[in-house]
Amino acid sequence: MSKDAIVTHGGITLNLGQIKAFHIDSFSPNKRSHILKIDLKSRFEYIHNPFTEEHEKVLIEDYLEHPYADFETAEVYRNEWQEIWQDYLNEK
């Protein structure tokens, strides 16, 4: 179980215990290379299906996207977030 650690940096507030990865899709076909994408840990939730009247287990794979002015700025923030996350992991 991950220890909660809520941190705000670069306009984003995250629970460090829920992070899976940081990345910038620099070769995106829609030219959105200035978007920092943060993948969060997958989780299961139970959703009520009104047609079957049963609860179904569903895998949730969340992520956050934050735009920056350009690729270089997004890269700087990604690197800073990685350092913050690494410090958190080292403390665990």
Range of the domain at 26: 6-84
Q: Is residue 59 part of a domain?
A: yes
Q: What is the pTM of this model?
A: 0.80
Number of domains in the chain: 1
Q: Is residue 89 part of a domain?
A: no
Q: Is residue 54 part of a domain?
A: yes
Q: Is residue 90 part of a domain?
A: no
pLDDT in tens, 46-74: 999 999 999 999 999 999 999 888 889 99
DSSP string, 35-84: EEEEEEPPEEEEEEETTTTEEEEEEE--EEEEE-SSHHHHHHHHHHHHHH
Q: Is residue 51 part of a domain?
A: yes
Q: Is residue 92 part of a domain?
A: no
pLDDT in tens, 20-41: 999 987 666 666 668 899 999 9
